[in-house]
Amino acid sequence: MSSDYYEVLEINRNVTDADIKKAYRRLALKFHPSRNREPGSDEKFIQLGEAYDVLSDPRKKATYDKFGEEGLKGGIPPEFGRDGAWSSKYVYHGNPDKTFREFFGGDNPFADFYTNNAPLQLSGLEAGLVKKTQDLPIERDLHLSLDDLFHGCTKKIKISRRVMNDNGFTSSIKDKILSIDVKPGWKEGTRIIFSKEGDQGPNSIPADIVFIVRQKVHPQFVRQQNDLIYKAKISLEMALTGFSVDVQTLDGRLLSIPVNDIVHPAYKKVLSGEGMPLTQNPSQRGNLIITFDIQFPEQLCAERKHLIRQALTFKE
């Protein structure tokens, strides 16, 4: 771009930083491609982006003021940069939309302005009726262990979001810690909503941030709603003659459960009140359901087959 940056922004060289921002805001809104389709407006929008990118940066501005565009883009000797001036060769990234988004904190500030269903004029930004719309929710998975969901816990999550600066025109990225109190018994898919904690913009309502519970795989239990499923491996002998199975519960107890029935492949042992807490009433719990994986012998000799046949031959 060969034109004067100050002329592009229609300002003089003695302006303040606030004046530069005000000028860019006014002209960028006027010549934005979504609002202005007159010949030359696209080129003007590009020029505005480059001019603001230079003049809003103290080091680039210092170099431009002292050495002009040639010194800014051609580079200056290091000894001239000791006063804080830009000493590298400046190249504009060529994306005025990026400059526009970074300035306004959003893609399109026009989307949220309505003036009696009439085309929006520039003055409407100052005096027209303004109606803001909220950005779509931002959804993130919250991965929790079965132990977290059994006992309940508190999770601290750091987010980075864009917030408006005090001048109301520019924005910056700041971190914030969100605290989630996980309740005992929460299920997969539970949604935790933080209202209006998304990126801020001058012309929109920040989005809600929504965390969705995702349960991690547990090495011992499978969860079905409020019930816990435990699979025990047993031999064929145990299935036919009886045994006891030990289960370590999520709250640290060791249950020794006798099984005196003949265990067939569809057999289940149900222990009431040993499952997951109910969210509405954590003092109540679902069931612990024990299923069985019966291990059959891979082979039997003739003598063992004969003995088993005898043992399983029922005489009246």
Give the count of beta carbons closer than 10 Å to the beta carbon of residue 72.
24
Identify the pLDDT of residue 271: 93
Identify the pLDDT of residue 156: 93
pTM, rounded to two decimals:
0.54
Write out pLDDT tens, residues 145-166: 999 999 999 999 988 888 888 7
Under the banding of pLDDT at 50, 70 and 90, the label for residue 137 is confident
Contacts of 92 (CB under 8 A, 6+ apart): 1, 49, 50, 53, 54
Q: Give CA–CA dist 120/122, Å, rounded.
A: 7
**Looking at the predicted structure, is the pLDDT value of residue 244 above 50?**
yes
- Residue position matching structure tokens 């864009």: 162
Instruction: Give the mean pLDDT of 290-298.
Output: 87
**Looking at the predicted structure, is the pLDDT value of residue 284 above 50?**
yes
Instruction: Give the mean pLDDT of 181-191.
Output: 94
Q: Give CA–CA dist 149/275, Å, rounded.
A: 12
168 phi, psi to nearest 5 deg: 80, 0
User: In this predicted structure, which of 37-41, 79-83, 177-181, 241-245 has the lowest mean pLDDT?
Assistant: 79-83
Identify the pLDDT of residue 36: 73
**Tokens representing 81?**
């940069």
Write out pLDDT tens, residues 46-74: 999 999 999 998 888 888 888 888 888 88
Q: Give CA–CA dist 200/135, Å, rounded.
A: 10
Q: Give CA–CA dist 26/24, Å, rounded.
A: 5
**Looking at the predicted structure, is the pLDDT value of residue 218 above 90?**
yes
Full set of structural domains in the chain with CATH:
5-104 (1.10.287.110), 134-215 (2.60.260.20), 221-311 (2.60.260.20)
DSSP label of 121: P
Identify the pLDDT of residue 113: 39
**Looking at the predicted structure, is the pLDDT value of residue 42 above 90?**
no
Identify the pLDDT of residue 215: 93
Task: Find the DSSP H helices in 56-135.
Answer: 58-74, 96-104, 124-127
Write out pLDDT tens, residues 73-106: 887 655 555 554 445 678 888 888 888 888 876 5
Identify the pLDDT of residue 33: 79
**Looking at the predicted structure, is the pLDDT value of residue 277 above 60?**
yes
